[in-house]
């Protein structure tokens, strides 16, 4: 099958240098401890021989002999390198690549995973997972069972984005949306807003709950009174009525697509954004514009998240599983408020 061009091995180097294969291995790995002390002379001889050959250690053999491989897996449920997904994955992959360079490991993309129902399967008869020392999981939504099984099997992995699809304690690196949401609310409050609407999709993901929770908390403390408006599909039409009935001066939307839809609904109804009503997205806005104004929202450090994920993974890999509980395996990074131009004082129209 494989041509497997016969490569130079330690054995041959040993023959050339007139030493044993063990010695070659020792020299190669700088094993020079209490029990082993190789004189500079032989050491040099071996190095010479290596230099003159094209010798390169066979990573498969190293791996089999118990060393780690410095290979980190990257798993995505969809193709990660397609033009469509680049918008989402691009910054993440970049962060991972940079961190990998620093850590000094290679990246294995599991492109061979069989596709079922349009999604790649992580576990299957011939999972390649174990070729890697550990694995980064990327994707908008992940399979709870997969996460659980990874935890159960004590395979080192880190999810990008906060995860609690399962009761198992999933290592992840995500964004602290609670603080971001709180800060945005504070800013709105400072500007004088007292009555708001929170438009959301009524999802049950961790980040959705984080945001909603903070909105609810605010309602209890009372800075701004929020009406929660759960919408189905993308039908945001009800927001116009709600605006009228509540007299709200500001609308927060769970994500940027939603914010955009809300803006369109307002504009269609002849309601001026942001003068009659302020608008903000509780998500990455990345230069989004609404009626010519930069949308207010968050800036999430995606590259950094991904890089931190790889670093955390590295820590897991070099730590025996029994001590994982000592590690901080659920990290939330700070995002930044992107103030934009769509959050203005109420009654800016008059």
Residue 8 CB partners (closer than 8 Å, separation 6+): 53, 54, 55, 56
197 binds, among DNA, its own copies, none (CB under 5 to 8 A by kind): none
Quick note: the x/- pattern for its own copies over 246-285, rule CB under 8 A, is: ----------------------------------------
Peptide bond into 274 cis (omega under 30): yes
Quote the distance between the C-alpha of residue 50 and its chain's center: 41
Handedness of CA 171, 172, 173, 174 (dihedral sign): negative
Least separation in angstroms between residue 145's CB and its own copies is 12
The verdict on 137 binding DNA (CB under 7 A) reads no
The verdict on 29 binding its own copies (CB under 8 A) reads no
Distances in Å between the alpha carbon of 289 and those of 292, 297, 319? Answer: 6, 11, 46
Which single residue is written with the structure tokens 């009228």?
A: 244
The verdict on 11 binding DNA (CB under 7 A) reads yes
Nearer to its own copies, 128 or 169 (CB): 128
213-220 contact pairs (CB < 8 A, 24+): 213/178, 214/177, 214/178, 214/181, 214/182, 214/185, 215/181, 215/185, 215/252, 218/182, 218/185
Nearer to its own copies, 12 or 341 (CB): 12
The verdict on 38 binding DNA (CB under 7 A) reads yes
- Residue of 15, 47, 53, 62 interacting with DNA (CB under 7 A): 62
Binding piece for DNA, criterion CB under 7 A, among 26-34, 145-153, 167-175, 210-218: 26-34
What is the rounded CA–CA span in Å between residue 154 and residue 320? 10
Nearer to its own copies, 265 or 307 (CB): 307
Nearer to DNA, 13 or 72 (CB): 13
267 binds, among DNA, its own copies, none (CB under 5 to 8 A by kind): none
129 binds, among its own copies, DNA, none (CB under 5 to 8 A by kind): its own copies
Distances in Å between the alpha carbon of 64 and those of 130, 133, 340? Answer: 12, 12, 55
The verdict on 33 binding its own copies (CB under 8 A) reads no
What is the rounded CA–CA span in Å between residue 205 and residue 182? 18
Distances in Å between the alpha carbon of 294 and those of 56, 223, 306, 341? Answer: 54, 25, 26, 5
The verdict on 98 binding its own copies (CB under 8 A) reads yes
Q: CB–CB of 180/172 below 8 Å?
A: no
Q: CB–CB of 261/233 below 8 Å?
A: no
- Residue of 16, 24, 26, 129 interacting with its own copies (CB under 8 A): 129
3-state helix, strand, coil in the chain (%, to 5): 40, 20, 40
Contact positions with its own copies (CB under 8 A) in 50-89: 54, 56-61, 63-64, 66-71, 79-83, 86
Residues that bind its own copies (CB under 8 A): 1-5, 7, 54, 56-61, 63-64, 66-71, 79-83, 86, 90-91, 93-94, 96-98, 100-101, 104-112, 115, 123, 125-131, 133, 149, 153-156, 317-321
Residues that bind DNA (CB under 7 A): 1, 6-7, 9-11, 19-23, 25-26, 28-29, 31, 35-39, 42, 55-58, 61-62, 64-67
């Amino acid at each position: 099958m494989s041509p497997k061009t016969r490569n130079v091995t330690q054995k041959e180097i040993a023959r050339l240098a007139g030493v044993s294969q063990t010695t070659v291995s020792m020299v190669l790995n700088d094993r020079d401890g209490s029990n082993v002390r190789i004189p500079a002379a032989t050491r040099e001889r071996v190095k010479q021989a290596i230099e003159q050959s094209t010798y390169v250690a066979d990573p498969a053999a190293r791996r089999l002999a118990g060393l780690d491989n410095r290979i980190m897996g990257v798993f995505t449920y969809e193709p990660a390198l397609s033009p469509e997904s680049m918008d989402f994955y691009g910054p993440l992959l970049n962060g991972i690549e940079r961190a990998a360079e620093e850590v000094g490991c290679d990246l294995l993309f599991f492109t061979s995973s069989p596709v079922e129902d349009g999604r790649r399967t992580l576990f299957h008869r011939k999972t390649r997972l174990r070729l890697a020392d550990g694995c980064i999981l990327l994707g908008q939504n992940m399979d709870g069972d997969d996460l659980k099984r990874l935890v159960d099997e004590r395979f080192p992995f880190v999810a990008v984005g906060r995860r609690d699809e399962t009761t198992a304690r999933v290592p992840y690196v995500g964004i602290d949306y609670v603080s971001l949401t709180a800060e945005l609310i504070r800013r709105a409050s400072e500007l004088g807003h007292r009555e708001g609407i929170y438009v959301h999709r009524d999802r049950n993901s961790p980040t959705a709950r984080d945001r909603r929770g903070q909105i609810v908390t605010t309602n209890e403390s009372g800075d701004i009174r929020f009406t929660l408006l759960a919408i189905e599909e993308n039908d945001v039409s009800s927001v116009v009525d709600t605006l009228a009935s509540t007299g709200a001066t500001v609308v927060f939307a769970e994500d940027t697509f939603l914010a955009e839809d809300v803006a369109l609904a307002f504009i269609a109804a002849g309601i001026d954004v942001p003068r009659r009503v302020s608008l903000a997205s509780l998500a990455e806005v990345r230069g989004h514009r609404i009626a010519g104004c930069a949308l207010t929202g968050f800036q999430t450090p995606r590259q950094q998240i991904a890089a931190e994920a790889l670093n955390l993974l590295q820590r897991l890999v070099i730590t025996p599983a029994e001590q994982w509980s000592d590690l901080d395996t659920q990290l939330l990074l700070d995002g930044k408020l992107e103030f934009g131009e769509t959050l203005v004082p109420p009654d800016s129209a008059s």
